């Protein structure tokens, strides 16, 4: 079995770097191997329980938090709006200026998320800033102020710069989706310590942005 990439662990929490193409947790329609099962196996050997705090899309890599009790999970989720969450994304085209995307998100009957001005949808806010670009793609630093399903993917499509490898929202042409959750900052639910976790940009991101 693949070794877990553990970024942080204490008596209450464990944070893992999830690879792309791995489900965070099994669904009713998809029972394939997933990150939750890997963390469960790891903690079960230590007689510890596991509860999922946040999820990433299957094709998104990066930081996922698990709690070791239901109480800790609830404390983290109840304060989730105060957690700082940042991503790297490689998008199609040249993005020269940063910006903010705000919309209300809804789902079609086929579970495709889309932006609307209809306030009956779920409000979503995404902040993006370009870090680098070549002739074909741009590397963006993205911070989400809300955590809606497929939020970044839809908002990048909205500005005309879909994420490289995103087969659902507009730009395929790759063997993975180039979206990586690289940064989390939050107040520890028990110790009150400010926790800042940051992981490096994946090597394949550098290859794409530097070689095209």
Q: In the numeric block, which tokens belong to residue 168?
A: 């659902």
CB of 124 closer than 8 Å to CB of 103: yes
Residue pair 6/14 in contact by the 8 Å Cβ criterion: yes
* Residues with a known catalytic role: 57
Closest C-alpha among 114, 93, 91 to residue 104? 114
Report yes or no: 41 and 29 within 8 Å, Cβ to Cβ: no
Q: Give the CA-trace dihedral at 74, 52, 123, 177, to 10 degrees.
A: 160
Gap between the Cα atoms of 78 and 3, Å rounded: 30
């Amino acid at each position: 079995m693949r070794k877990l990439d553990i970024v942080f662990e204490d008596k209450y929490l464990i944070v893992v770097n999830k690879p792309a193409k791995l489900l965070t947790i099994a669904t009713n329609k998809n029972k394939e191997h997933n990150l939750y099962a890997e963390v469960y196996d790891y903690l079960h050997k230590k007689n510890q329980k596991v509860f999922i705090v946040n999820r990433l899309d299957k094709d998104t890599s990066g930081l996922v938090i698990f709690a070791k009790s239901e109480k800790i999970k609830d404390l983290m989720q109840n304060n989730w709006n105060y957690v700082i969450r940042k991503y790297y994304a490689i998008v199609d085209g040249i993005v020269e200026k940063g910006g903010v995307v705000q919309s209300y998100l809804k789902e079609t009957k086929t579970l495709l998320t889309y932006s609307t001005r209809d306030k009956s949808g779920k409000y979503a806010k995404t902040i993006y800033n370009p870090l680098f670009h070549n002739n074909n793609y741009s590397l963006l630093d993205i911070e989400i102020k809300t955590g809606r399903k497929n939020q970044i993917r839809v908002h990048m499509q909205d500005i005309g710069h879909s994420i490289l490898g995103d087969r659902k929202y507009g730009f395929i042409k790759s063997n993975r989706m180039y979206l990586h959750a690289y940064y989390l900052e939050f107040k520890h639910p028990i110790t009150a310590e400010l926790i800042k976790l940051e992981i490096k940009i994946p090597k394949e991101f550098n290859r794409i942005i530097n070689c095209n």
